[in-house]
């Protein structure tokens, strides 16, 4: 299936501390803990090893792992949205495949790992191409992990150095405290009602399919207001809000493009937000705002961070996807040589970021389009100029 995705991007760099220094190091590579792909929803994912062990020796603080070779690693992150049981199956196209699962001690699980404080919950040093967590155990399959809501685990997969095998990963998370869909709800529908009283005013967030209008079961991350910031799983959310402010929403659903947005909410009053999710499919597109460069250069501003990390995660968890990075600039009149070169440099800058952080170069191409395809041909306002000055990503 061919997919078309047009994305304006933000960059992110994660500051972490190495186990040998007190000074921070920067690594967004999927072969390092700090660059782990975030699995926000149970499902099936296809990832690819980078043939590298990352920029940081993530396992150095664990003497029991001294014989484990971290020369070709792949990291994934999962946070329990509710009390449940975590299971998985992982199959590599070549082996042996090994797996280590850490659980957080503090809010920063990577720092816990670097300091040797994170608990090793599961360790499989298999000679096979398959590992798993299941109620039926074997030499390369251990028992599931019971998790309480908010617990954070980090999965480290290890493979043959200098090889780039594909990892087919299936993650399941079943509730253990009776939290199931309401009677009569559809397969992709689940009500999460966190009001103190059913009659209380609430922030109502509805996740819907843009084509059918049907509910979509999704993971919803809310930040911005401390009392309600958390990760939720469902399709219809009713949340009591005791203070006014702006909230940031990140929504991920299997088979849909991700959505990030900011919304104002008022305390102790009804607020309804409908989030329309675009299903993946041939000819579909999505655009995300807020890519920003230093004027006249291909260097990203510090404000241009989170979205590129989101794109990296999307590509890491969908290793069959190939993308074309398209650079655009804003200028009046005919396309110029300088504008053309600048757009090419900006597209290549995005490609370089993705390659540096674990995405196979063979999956990426870049092209500069100068100012030949502006969104606003006669831009009169700053936001229109910024929309023209963008990077787009076409996913096939």
Q: Using one digit for the tens of pLDDT, what is the confidence trace for 316-333?
A: 767 777 888 888 888 877
What is the 3-state secondary structure of the chain? CCCCCCCCCCCCCCEEECCCCCCEEECCCCCCHHHCEECCCCEEEEEECCCCCCCCCCCCCCHHHCCCCCCCEEEEEEECCCCEEEEEEEEECCCCCEEEEEECCCCCHHHHHHCCCCEEEEEEECCCCEEEECCCCECCEECCEEECCCCEEEEEEECCCCCCCEEEEEEEEEECCCCCCCCCCCCCCCEEEECCCCCCCCEEEEEEECCCCCECCEEEEEECCCCCCEEEEECEEEECCCCCEEEEEEEECCCECCEEEEEEECCCCCEEEEEEECECCCCCCCCCCCCCECCCCCCECCCCCHHHHHHHHHHHCECCCCEEEEECCCCCCCCCHHHHHHHHHHHHHHHHHHHHCCCCHHHEEEEECCCCCCCCCCCCCHHHHHHHCCEEEEEC
Percent of the chain with pLDDT over 90: 32
The confidence score (pLDDT) of residue 180 equals 44
Residue 287: is its pLDDT beyond 80? no
Q: In terms of DSSP bridges, do strands 84-92 and 130-133 run parallel, antiparallel, or are they unpaired?
A: antiparallel
Q: 62-66, 95-99, 239-243: lowest mean pLDDT where?
A: 239-243
What's the first-to-final CA gap in the chain, in angstroms? 8
Residue 241: is its pLDDT beyond 50? yes
Structure confidence at residue 288 as a pLDDT band (50, 70, 90): low
Sign of the CA dihedral running 332, 335, 337, 338: positive
Residue 90: is its pLDDT beyond 50? yes
306-395 carries CATH number 3.40.50.1820: no
| Cβ within 8 Å of residue 184, ≥6 positions away | none
* Residue 211 CB neighbour total at 10 angstroms: 12
Question: What tokens does 37 get?
Answer: 């792909």
Where do the structural domains in the chain lie, given as residue ranges? 31-175, 191-277, 306-395
Question: What tokens does 55 get?
Answer: 């920029």
Question: What tokens does 46 get?
Answer: 């296809």
The confidence score (pLDDT) of residue 285 equals 66
Sign of the CA dihedral running 276, 396, 91, 27: negative
Per-residue pLDDT averaged across 52-65, rounded?
A: 91
Question: What tokens does 311 get?
Answer: 């794109």
Superfamily of domain 31-175 in the CATH hierarchy? GOLD domain (2.60.120.680)
Higher-scoring residue by pLDDT: 296, 129: 129
Per-residue pLDDT averaged across 47-67, rounded?
A: 90
Report the CATH number of the 191-277 domain.
Answer: 2.60.40.1120
Name the average pLDDT for the chain: 82
Per-residue pLDDT averaged across 229-235, rounded?
A: 82
């Amino acid at each position: 299936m061919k997919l078309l995705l047009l994305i304006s991007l933000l960059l992110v760099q994660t500051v972490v501390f190495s186990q040998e220094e007190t000074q921070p190091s920067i690594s967004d590579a999927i072969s390092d803990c700090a660059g782990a792909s975030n699995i926000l929803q149970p499902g099936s994912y296809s990832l690819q090893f980078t043939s590298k062990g990352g920029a940081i020796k993530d396992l150095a603080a664990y003497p029991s792992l001294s014989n484990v070779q971290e020369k070709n690693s792949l990291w994934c992150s999962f946070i329990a949205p509710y009390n449940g049981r975590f299971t998985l199956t992982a199959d590599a196209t070549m082996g042996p495949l090994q797996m280590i699962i850490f659980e957080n001690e503090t809010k920063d699980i990577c720092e816990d790992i670097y300091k040797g404080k994170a608990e090793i919950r599961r360790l499989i040093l298999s000679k096979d191409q398959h590992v798993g967590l299941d109620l039926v155990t074997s030499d390369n399959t251990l028992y599931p992990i019971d998790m309480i809501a908010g617990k954070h685990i980090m999965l480290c997969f290890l493979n043959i150095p200098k090889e780039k095998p594909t990892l087919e990963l299936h993650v399941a998370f079943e509730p253990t405290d009776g939290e199931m869909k309401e009677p009569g709800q559809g397969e992709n529908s689940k009500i999460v009602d966190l009001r103190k009283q059913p009659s209380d005013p609430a922030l109502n967030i509805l996740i819907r399919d843009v084509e059918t209008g049907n509910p979509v079961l999704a993971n919803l991350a809310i930040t911005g207001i401390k009392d309600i910031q958390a990760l939720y799983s469902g399709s219809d959310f009713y949340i009591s809000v005791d203070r006014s402010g702006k909230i940031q929403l990140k929504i991920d659903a299997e088979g849909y493009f991700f959505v990030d947005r900011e919304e104002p909410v008022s305390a102790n009053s009804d607020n309804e937000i409908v989030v329309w999710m675009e299903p993946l499919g041939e000819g579909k597109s999505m655009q995300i705002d807020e890519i920003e460069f230093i004027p006249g250069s291909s260097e990203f501003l510090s404000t241009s961070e989170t979205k590129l990390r989101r794109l990296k995660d999307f590509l890491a968890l969908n290793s069959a996807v190939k993308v074309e990075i398209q650079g655009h600039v804003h200028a009046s009149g005919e396309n110029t040589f300088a504008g053309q070169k600048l757009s090419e440099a900006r597209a290549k800058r995005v490609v370089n970021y993705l390659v540096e952080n674990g995405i196979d170069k063979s999956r990426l191409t870049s092209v500069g389009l100068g100012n030949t395809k502006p969104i606003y041909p006669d831009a009169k306002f700053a936001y229109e100029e910024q929309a023209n000055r963008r990077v787009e990503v076409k996913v096939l």
